[in-house]
Structure 1
Amino acid sequence: MSLRIKAVVDKFVQELKEALDADIQDRVMKEREMQSYIEEREREVAEREAAWKAELSRREAEISRQEARLKMERENLEKEKSVLMGTASSQDNQDGALEITVSGEKYRCLRFSKAKK
């Protein structure tokens, strides 16, 4: 009788070991699948981040170009205004004259009078 019990116990232990081995193999496979999935997601995120940074860099460069162009346009406008309208600036001379430059020609005005209506 004890041989039969021993055989049943040995068979049970063997089946238990096989079930544990199968469970361990299943867990190892799931861990590998999860690791593979995580690596793939990290790669996708890194690619999107690189694309986003490249786009950001391109836009920043475009903004810099536009700012430089606007600055040049503003400077050109100021030059045109200076040439077309002339510039007036109060001089800190002893005589209190106002100096006006029109198209590169300088004029000095010592007295002012109110315009007649």
Structure 2
Amino acid sequence: MSLRIKAVVDKFVEELKEALDADIQDRIMKDREMQSYIQEREREVAEREAAWKADLSRREAEIARQEARLKMERDNLEKEKSVLMGTASNQDNQDGALEITVSGEKYRCLRFAKAKK
């Protein structure tokens, strides 16, 4: 009888070891799957971050180009205004003439009249 009990106990221990080994293998597989999933997600996030940074860099470069173009246009506008409007300076002349310089040439105006609308 004790041999039968020993055989039953040995079988139970063997089945328990097999179940434990299967559980360990299952946990190892789940751990590998989780690590694989984490690596894949990290790769996806890194790709999105790289794409975002590239897009940001392109936008910053475009903004810099537009700012440079606007500055150049503003400078050109100021030059045009200077040429078109000339520079006027009221000279303390005895005749009270107004001197205007347009494109480097000086003009004197002795009489003034109101502009008509």
Q: Deviations over 1:46-103 (max 9, x none)?
A: 1111111111101111110000000000000000000000124689999999874322
Q: Distance in 2 between matches of 1:103 and 1:70?
A: 24
Q: TM-score, normalised by structure 1?
A: 0.80
Farther off after superposition, 9-18 or 89-98? 89-98
The SS at the match of 2:21 is: helix
Q: TM-score, normalization: structure 2?
A: 0.80
The farther-off stretch of 25-34 and 99-108 is 99-108
Residues 2-36 of structure 1, C-alpha deviations (whole Å, 9 max, x = no match): 11111111100000000000000000001101100
Measured on the aligned residues, the alpha-carbon RMSD in Å equals 3.4
Extract structure 1 runs of 4+ deviating beyond 3 A.
Answer: 88-100, 106-117
Give the secondary structure class of the aligned counterpart of 2:113: coil
Percent of residue pairs identical: 92
Structure 2: tracts of 5 or more residues without a match:
none
CA distance 1:116–1:55, change in 2 (3 Å): closer
What residue number does 2:85 align with? 85
Residues 35 and 113 (structure 1 numbering): CA distance in 2 closer, same or farther, change over 3 Å? same
Task: Go from structure 1 to structure 2 and tell me whether the alpha carbon gap of 1:66 and 1:115 turns closer, same or farther (over 3 Å shift).
Answer: closer
Farther-moved stretch of structure 1 (93-102 vs 74-83): 93-102
Tell me how far apart the structure 1 counterparts of residues 111 and 88 of structure 2 sit (CA, whole Å): 15
The runs of 5 or more residues in structure 1 that have no matched partner are none
Indicate how the Cα distance of structure 1 residues 97 and 8 shifts in structure 2: closer, same or farther if over 3 A, else same. Answer: farther
